[in-house]
Amino acid sequence: MSKKVLEVEGVSIGYGERTVLENVNFSLSAGSLAVIIGPNGSGKSTLLRALTGENKGFTGNVLLSGESVKELSQRNLARLRAVVATERNGGGALTVEETVSIGRFPYTGLLGTLGTEDKEAVRLAMANVGIADFANRFLGELSDGERQKVMIARALAQETPLMFLDEPTSFLDVAARIETMRMLRRLADAGKTILLSTHDSAAALAVADTVLVLIPEERSVICGSKQEIIASGVLDRVFAHAGLRFDESAGDFR
């Protein structure tokens, strides 16, 4: 049986008097790729912030490799999960290698001095996403797609069992979106557990093992395999307000 890397037990999240999601339950095993989809404002980023431990103001429990996010220090959290945020990244004055090296902060001392193992982790991370050839280029010189690869490499350098990504294809052109999704699929096949939120539902469904669909009017999350979710018709129901229907034969919304 595959090890459970992420376990979500009865999680409810809200702001003040408003509940966004109620009684969310699911788990992910090692080497799986899961996607969170849903309409704008349905709570995708809210759910991710709870799962990563960024927001601990929720009821229920989230376990990373068996440990509760509510009880973990920031350093220990950073050894169990890496996060790639959605915003355009700064750091233009840093080189690619320097940026990826930031991912080693959970393991380095106060001075951030990289040892032999840290340098090897950085080298492997860059190689795994195909950016080793421009390790010495400055981040500000790169395209959006190249910069996103750098951020994914930085997360890989943390050597965590689990990676979270919030809208990883935002700001990317069509080719870079496809390349990013294929890269994440390859990383999952190599053993990394990946959970991402996205508006790019069709591209995400093409590579996902597990799909979480957020239903805002019910404040609920439906979780299942890609095949189960498509067969259930929930995608048509959730996106009906936009006049969209999921065409299973085309693998896209129409």
Q: What is the DSSP string of 155-187?
A: HHHT--SEEEEESTTTT--HHHHHHHHHHHHHH
Q: How confident is the model at residue 90 (pLDDT cuts 50, 70, 90)?
A: low
> Can you list the positions of beta strands (E) in 30-161?
33-37, 59-64, 67-68, 81-84
Mean pLDDT of the chain, nearest integer: 91
Domains and CATH numbers, the chain: 4-253 (3.40.50.300)
Whole-model pTM: value is 0.92
Q: Residue range 54-61: average pLDDT?
A: 94
Task: Specify whether the CB–CB gap between 204 and 181 falls below 8 A.
Answer: yes
Hey, is 117 helix, strand or coil?
helix
In the chain the first and final C-alpha atoms are separated, in Å, by 38
The bridge status of strand 210-215 relative to strand 193-197 is unpaired
pLDDT digits (tens, 9 = 90+) for 123-148: 999 999 999 999 999 998 999 999 99
Share of the chain above pLDDT 90, in %: 72
Amino acid 201: pLDDT = 84
Indicate if the pLDDT at residue 15 is higher than 90: no
